[in-house]
Structure 1
Amino acid sequence: MEALYLGCLVGGVLFALISVVFGDWIGDALGGVFDALSFEFLQPVVLAGMVTVFGGAGILIERYAGLPPVWSVSVSVLCALLSGLLLYFGYVKPMRGSENSVGYSMNDLTGRIGEVTVPVPEKGYGEVMVSMGGSGNTLHTAFSFDGDWIPAGVRVVVIDIEDGTLGVSELEKTEKGLE
């Protein structure tokens, strides 16, 4: 049994090393061949971790616990399953949720608050910096929606978008008009 455990331990470690070094190349070469067979839980990192833990736990249990072979295999399988659950719910699933994009649509800018960086004349164009939350700030060409001159440093709200240009209005003036 010790040969099986050692083989799983070495095989799992080699798989992990090969995945780190050649993972992208292997994924490109296979081109999604196994996508139809994939289950959410059976990610390569989870499987490699389970095989490695099975081998390591089996060696330790057989050498130091003195359990019969059936019990050592059962406890090793249990350890492998627990480690797989921990890997999946502690690493794989949270990391999948962390993938996000900093991209946005121009329509997402409507209603956002910005600050004029280059004055916006009554008829013409200036520049506005709009905060995009966690992804930073973005600069856009802007025109005065109300036809008023808007000096630099004034906070504005994006009212409309025409041909990729933001129609903005002074935020304080808009707030006073609402009162």
Structure 2
Amino acid sequence: METVYLACLIGGVLYAIVSVIFGDWLSQALDGALDFLSVDFLQPMTIVGGITIFGGAGFLMERYSSFAGPVIVLGSVLIAVAGAIIVYFLYVKPMENSESSIAFSVASLSGSIGEVLVSIPRNGYGEVLVKVGAGNTNQIAASFDNEPIPSGSKVVVVEVREGVLYVSELNLEL
């Protein structure tokens, strides 16, 4: 039985190494071919983690305890299930919600504060720098009030039409 435990342990470790090195490549190659097998809590990380924990626990108990074979198998299964549950709730579940995106919609810039980089003439276009998340974006801008806005001025985006930000100069005088 020690061979089975060792095989589970080594197989799990090899799976972890292969998934770290080739995981993205394999994911693209399969392109969702196995998505029909997906059940929320039966993620590969939890299944393989459980098998690896089963192998490790069984191997250690076989070597260093005086328990009988069936007790070791039962104990290994219980430890593996507990370990898989812990892996699911402490790693897999939080990671499902951790995806972030740096994408933004130009339409979502309404109400944003920016700075004029290229002065905006009365009936023309200039350029503004607007903070988006942790970064900045440069956008084409026109004057909402048909008033010229000099470079370096603080502006507020009043509306967005056809990909152009219509801005007004921001007066912070009290």
| 1:16 shift after superposition | 2.0
Aligned to 1:139: 138
Q: Distance in 1 between matches of 2:28 and 2:147?
A: 56
Deviation sequence 1:31-78 (CA, Å, 0-9, x none): 433211211122222222111111011111122222222222222112
Unaligned residue ranges in structure 1 (runs of 5+): none
| 1:126 shift after superposition | 1.4
Superposition map of 1:16-31 within 5 A: 16-31=16-31
Aligned to 1:169: 168
Provide the TM-score with structure 1 as the length reference.
0.86
Q: Distance in 2 between matches of 1:133 and 1:13?
A: 38
SS at match of 1:131: strand
| 1:111 shift after superposition | 1.2
Aligned to 1:115: 115
Aligned to 1:4: 4
Seen in structure 2, the aligned counterparts of structure 1 residues 30 and 117 have a Cα distance that, compared at 3 Å, is closer
Aligned to 1:105: 105
| 1:92 shift after superposition | 1.9
The structure richer in helix per residue is 1
**Paired amino acid for 2:57:** A
Aligned to 2:71: 71
Superposition map of 1:154-165 within 5 A: 154-165=153-164
CA RMSD of aligned residues (A): 2.0
Superposition map of 1:34-73 within 5 A: 34-73=34-73
**Paired amino acid for 2:8:** C
Unaligned residue ranges in structure 2 (runs of 5+): none
Aligned residue pairs total: 174
Q: Distance in 2 between matches of 1:22 and 1:64?
A: 35
**Paired amino acid for 2:148:** W
Q: Distance in 2 between matches of 1:28 and 1:116?
A: 42
Aligned to 1:130: 130
- Residues 18-27 or 96-105, more deviating: 18-27
Spell out structure 1 runs of 4+ moving beyond 4 A: none
Provide the TM-score with structure 2 as the length reference.
0.89
Q: Distance in 1 between matches of 2:29 and 2:138?
A: 41
SS at match of 2:171: helix
| 1:168 shift after superposition | 0.1
Aligned to 2:150: 151
Aligned to 2:14: 14
SS at match of 1:33: coil
Deviation sequence 1:130-172 (CA, Å, 0-9, x none): 11123x1101111110111222222211112222111001222
Seen in structure 2, the aligned counterparts of structure 1 residues 160 and 29 have a Cα distance that, compared at 3 Å, is closer
Q: Distance in 1 between matches of 2:63 and 2:145?
A: 81
* Identical-residue share of aligned pairs (%): 51
